[in-house]
Structure formats: C-alpha cells, structure tokens
Structure 1
Amino acid sequence: MSKPDYSWTCPYCRQVATIKPDNVSSYLHTFERNNKLGLLGLYTYATVCPNSKCRDFTIIASLYNAQHTTNGVRVVGEPIIRWDLKPQSSAKPFPDYIPPPIRQDYEEACLICSLSPKASATLSRRCLQGIIRDYWGITKARLVDEIAELKDKIDSTTWQAIDAVRSIGNIGAHMEKDINLIVDVEPQEADLLIRLIEVLLEEWYIRRHERDEHMQKVIAAAQGKASAKNGDNH
C-alpha cells in the first residue's frame, strides 16, 4: 500500500511539505484464526515531518477486510475502523500565550469529537465563552447574550461566521442554556464549533500577538534612530 509523493500538512509545525518514500513507514499485519469476520489486515502508517526544525511523526492504523492472492495477502475496500494514534486528535497546536484553560478545552473538544459529539460541543461552548470573556471582557448570564454583545465590536465577516454557527441545528439552543449542560448535537455541529474556535483563536489572539510584535519592532527601530541622532548632535 505504498503511496506516491503527496502534499501533507504537519499537525505539529503546520508546514506544508511533499511526502516522499523516505518520510514514511508502513506495515500490514494479517490475522484470521477464530475470527468471526474472517481474514483481516491491520495496516499501520507512520509519517515523519520533513521540516528539519520539527521532525515529529504521525501514526495511523486502519483495519481492513483482506483476501489471499497469488502474491500473498492484500486489503480490500474501505477501512472498517481507523485510529489516530499520534497525534490522537485533529487539534491544532496553539501558542502558550493563549490562556491554558482555553487551549485545554479546545484540545479536549477535538479529542472526543467523534466519540461523543455532545460532550465535545459542551467543551467547545465553554471554550467559546472563555475566549469572549478573556479577550473582550464581556460577561453575561448566558453565552448567547455574550455573543450578541460582540456584534458591534468585531468585523462583519467574523460576526456572520459566529452567527451562522450559532443559528444551525441544536447549537442555538445549546448556547442559551447553562454552558455545562450536555445537550445532544450532531457530529457535524460539534465539528463546526471546533472550526469556529480555531478561527477565533487565530484571528484574535495570534493576529494581536503578531501585531504587537511588529509594533515593538517599529518602536525599537524608531528609538534606535532617535538615540543615534542624539549621539550625532553631541
């Protein structure tokens, strides 16, 4: 099951890279004895990030139906089940300057999204409230009221994205209740909440940090010029 060269985004450093045979390792383990499903193949696939500053790796495992051929055994069809072994979720790595409780709720929401969408959505809702309270200093009795308070404070595109996610399926009702109350949501709704949180973390925390860094460089450069000019005047 070797793959041709393909484009890949590292889940750790987020660098887009071309994965070649030197960056991957795979193995097929087959078993059949006393198995009610017949011949099965457990396929493991490891990928090493080509970025010299990263070199971290991912491991996935997939269980397939398999069949005997003249050349041995091969897997057939789509995976019966798939496991992400490393990393265990699709959570993006966010910087340490984002408050730990916010990052922890986000990471846990990603980790259990497929196993329990309603628990994931509860964590995401708490994470969203934490972002609004920490970044904007808005505190209301209900999350839906805190979101409403944002409307005149943020750009229209971001507001439309928040409002669109808030208004679909059970998410709207989910935001009007106590944030720790578990309410049934569809898996796609839980995933949308996670994607919204990722956008907000990037647009608010990361952009602000990058802006502050650029401004500090401008200030330092200006102060350097002023010091040099004053030195020339003496």
Structure 2
Amino acid sequence: MTAVVLCRLVFAGLLLFFVPLVAFAVDPVPLPVINFGIESSSDPDRVSVTLQILLMLTILTLAPAILMLMTSFVRIIIVLGFLRQALGTMQQPPNQIIVGMALFLTFYIMTPTFTEVNRVALQPYLANEITTQQALENASKPMSEFMLKHTREKDLALFVHFSGAERPRNKSEVDFFTIVPAFVISELKTAFEMGFMIFIPFLIIDMVVASTLMSMGMMMLPPAMISLPFKLILFVLVDGWNLVMSSIVRSFVER
C-alpha cells in the first residue's frame, strides 16, 4: 500500500513539473529583438548626433587610461602599494580600499584642473558655443599644464627626441602626446623615490628584530611575525596615515 501511494506522489510531481514546460513550448513568451545597422541619412543633425554618441563611447572606453596616466593616480597608488608592502600586512588594507583612497585623493588633487577643463571646454561645448575639435583642444591645455608641472625636463627631452620633431622653444610648444609618456615615467620615478623613503624605518625594525631573534637562538621563528606588531604600533604612534597623505598632497601642491 505504501509503495502505491509513493508511486502516485512521484507521478503527480512529474506532472506538476512537465506540464508548465509543455505549455511554455506551445505558447512561447515573445522576447524583444534589438537590431544594429548602418543606414543612410540626409539629415545632417542626425549624422552629427550619431558621431557625438560614437565619440562619447570612445571617450568612456579610454576613461580608465586617461584617469590613470594623465592624473596624480599613478603616484598615489604606487606609494600606497609600497606602504602596505613595507608594513607587511599582506592584504590589509584591502585592494578596494587602496584603489578607492587613491581615486578620491586623485579627485581632490585634480579638482582645480578639472574645474578649468569644465569652464573652458565642457560648458562651452554643451552650450554649442564651440565645436568638438575646439573643446578637445581647450581641454588638453589645462591637462598639459598640470602634467608639465610635474614632468622632469630630462624625461620630456627624451620623448621629444624620439618623436623626431623640432626642438620646442618652450614647454607650451610640446605636443600633447609627447607630454603624456614623459609625465608617466616621471611619476613612476617620483613614486619609487617616495616608496624608498617609506621602506627605511620599517626595514630598520625588521633588521633589529631579526638580529635579536638570532642572538637569542630563535632562528626558526619568522622575524616578520614578531616585527609586524612593532611596525604597526610605530605607524600608529607617529600618525602614519596623516604623514603619508600630507606628503603625497604636498608633492603636487607645493611644487
């Protein structure tokens, strides 16, 4: 009797499962279809709007590279990465915190430059006072001024030489696409110099702890495990985050 009841329950369950599937197959739910294509148009305004949309999509695609290579983001993220490695805290702070902190600090430092770009390029363009080409030229000038301010002449001369162009009489004559790589390698050098200075006090603590453990005969005990609390307490006592952030901001503001 129990086997018969069990078989009926199984059969009822199969019906409940398959009947909706059969009904769905008989009367399928209509799905929306999106078509992409290229059509001819005699309306200049429609062609202009289409080109503007393509240009905006291109700019959005290149936005991460623009943010990383033409702003203070490179120096900040590298210095914070060196700081975490010098502390020996592995994944603390997490990558999300490091990147988020670098982004907000980048916006803080770049606010005057972005404000100028908005004033001379974005707002006139939105008001249809200038063309797209003029907007790009106006936007490149404040960015070029910022990058030239933090680019070493040696790095700039290197890429001017590689470009094969005539030697510019002043920095304002340097091509925008020559400034960007020179600015990047200058930022990398500056970030590594700051990272070296950050490493020195923590390296001294590691050496002292390693020497102490060796003199006590505790050679099997990892020095990093013992030195980590000392490095953390030193960093907290000297208000390390304030010192690091102030050094980063001053390296851009007071130059």
Question: One fold, TM greater than 0.5?
Answer: no
Q: Which structure would you say has the larger Rg? A: 2
* Greater per-residue strand proportion: 1
Q: Pick 1 or 2: higher relative contact order, CA cutoff 8 A, min separation 6.
A: 2
TM-score scaled by structure 1? Answer: 0.37
* Greater per-residue helix proportion: 2
